[in-house]
Structure 1
Amino acid sequence: MDTDHITDLWSRVVGAQPAPSLWLVIATGVLALGTVVPRTAWRLSRNAVTIAHEGGHGLIALVTGRRLDGIRLHSDTSGLTVSRGKPTGIGMVLTAAAGYTAPSLLGLAGAALLASGHITALLWGATALLLAMLVMIRNAYGVLTVVLAGAAFFLVSWLTTPHVQAAFAYAVVWFLLLGGVRPPFELMGKRRRGSAGDSDPDQLARLTNVPAALWLGLFHVVTLCSLIGGGQWMLGL
């Protein structure tokens, strides 16, 4: 690849693309909602939220100086991230708190990129994050789901028209923002039934002596505020 091609590729990635029409933004939001609300669709689409959830645990573990041993993703949409380091302290607290907030915060960051016209940068950035996560996956199902997700982002960014890229990017960001809201509500229901005794809020309660209900409330605040803020950015409000 010569210098001109490299320059063109770099300009394509970091440059801004024209904003799509408002109807496309709304249509992709409705499409994303259709993958989150119906129970049947959610059973499949929740795998993508799990990737973001466990990826959030893993990323913050590394940022805070912990050693990341591996990530597992399971077909029942559960996951497990294992890290080593000091069992208490701010690093462990942030790592435990990152999971339920990660999909929504990633969606919020994606909405900021889309609002500034950086559609291709979002697609390539997502591909890079999934590739980095793939190195830490420790089971076959996890490898399959991350490879398929990464391939989808790459192929869309490389082979499709700008209009298709925009539709895909907006649908993904809407999905992260909407899909990030549902898991805390699901966890709240499980805790009421007494079937989530070792959930992230319970681990945080043991680490901080702050009640698990308050941590769960924080997750609700982060996910709902991210949806409102990210939605406003993408709709141009």
Structure 2
Amino acid sequence: MWLIALAGLAALAVVAYPPSWHVSRGLITIAHEGGHALAAVLTRRRLHGIRLHSDTSGVTLTRGNPRGFGMIITAGSGYVAPSLLGFGAAWLTAAGHITLLLWSVLALLACMLLMIRNVFGAVSLLVTGGAVFAISSFTKPEVQAVVAYAAVWFLLLGGVRPIVELQSKRRRRRAPDSDADQLARLTHVPGTFWVAVFLLVSVAALAAGAWLLVDLPALLPSVFAPV
């Protein structure tokens, strides 16, 4: 339990400290653009490519009905993808399926690599995938567990910060074409509403993921047990 807590604190420090966040935010962008891409495929939009940029931004290019249901789902999937991925990873980790988690991440990265359309994006995915492969193949199970817990916490916590940053940029009118503003134009519902939806989903995923990781149902009886 103390190891899980330390992994969570380490992930929180990385997300909260601006220099480390600037370096690690690209991992959240990979999950963000992967969410757009997966939603496009599931809604039968034509996926034309993904670009990841050195400023930690990204773009997913799709073709299809510009105002249909598929476009709404695709536009709304990016900001919630890291948190939902973190929740799924928390479920696998809590169930002890750490090797399955690592290989699933490799499979997802390989699928994204097929759709990458710029050099920086390809290098980012290859470096990330290489690190995951090395951990899953050449380290002890205990090390894999530590990395898995830290990565899950990072996804859960790191999924929240970009949403807060998004609303800050929107207040200063620096993100006129953000996902929330695209959804506002598609649905005629204010962009602030969609930011609130993103935040609600991410916070719920964080709470549920933390519940799974810490195993509160098993922990509480021991905490309140008579001495």
| TM-score clears 0.5 | yes
* TM-score for both structures, normalised by structure 1: 0.90
Give the residue type in structure 1 aligned to 2:107. Answer: A
1:69-108 equivalences under 5 Å are 69-108=48-87
The whole-number CA distance in structure 2 between the counterparts of 1:82 and 1:200 is 13
Q: Which runs of 5+ in 2 are unaligned?
A: 217-227
Q: 2:189 aligns with which of 192, 205, 210?
A: 210
1:53 aligns with 2:32: yes
Q: Tell me the CA shift for residue 24 of structure 1.
A: 1.3
Q: How does 1:26-45 map to 2 (within 5 A)?
A: 26-45=5-24
Pick from 99, 102, 110: which aligns with 2:89? 110
Partner deviation per Cα, 1:86-116 (whole Å, 9 max, x = no partner): 1112111000000000000000000111111
Tell me, in whole angstroms, the C-alpha distance in 2 between the residues paired with 1:141 and 1:35: 23
Question: Deviation of residue 138 (structure 1)?
Answer: 0.5
Q: TM-score, normalised by structure 2?
A: 0.94
Deviation of residue 152 (structure 1)?
1.1
Please tell me the root mean square deviation across aligned C-alpha atoms, in Å. Answer: 0.6
Q: After TM superposition, give the deviation of residue 52 of structure 1 in Å.
A: 0.4
* Residue 228 of structure 1: aligned partner: 207
Distance 1:210 1:120 in 2: 42
CA-CA distance at 1:27 after TM superposition? 1.1
Q: Distance in 1 between matches of 2:189 and 2:48?
A: 28
Give secondary structure in 2 for the equivalent of 1:113.
helix
Gaps of 5+ in 1: 1-21
State the percentage of identical aligned residues.
Answer: 55
Q: What count of residue pairs does the alignment treat as equivalent?
A: 216
Deviation track 1:177-224 (CA, whole Å, cap 9, x = no partner) reads: 000000010011101111111100000011111111100000010111
Pairing of 1:144-223 with structure 2 (within 5 A): 144-223=123-202
Distance across 2 between alignment mates of 1:107 and 1:221:
15
Paired residue for 2:47? 68
Q: Secondary structure at the match of 1:81?
A: strand
Return the alpha-carbon distance in structure 2 between the equivalents of residues 70 and 149 of structure 1. Answer: 19
Find the aligned partners of 1:34 and 1:45 in 2 and give their Cα distance: 11
Q: Residue type of the partner of 1:69?
A: H
Aligned equivalents of 2:33 and 2:81: distance in 1? 8
Distance 1:194 1:207 in 2: 19
What is the distance in 2 between the residues matched to 1:202 and 1:188? 11
AA matched with 1:153: V
Aligned ranges 1:20-31 → 2 under 5 Å: 22-31=1-10
Match of 1:196, SS state, is: coil
Cα distance in 2, alignment partners of residues 91 and 169 from structure 1: 33
**1:19 corresponds to which residue?**
none
Q: CA deviation at 1:30?
A: 1.0
Displacement over 3 Å in runs of 4+:
none
Q: 1:45-92 CA distances to partner (integer Å, 9 max, x unpaired)?
A: 100000000010001101110111000000000001000011112111
The DSSP-based 3-state class of the residue aligned with 2:47 is: strand
* Equivalent position of 1:11 in the other structure: none
Query: 2:189 is aligned with what amino acid?
Result: V
Q: Deviations over 1:96-151 (max 9, x none)?
A: 00000000000000011111111100000001000110000011110011111111
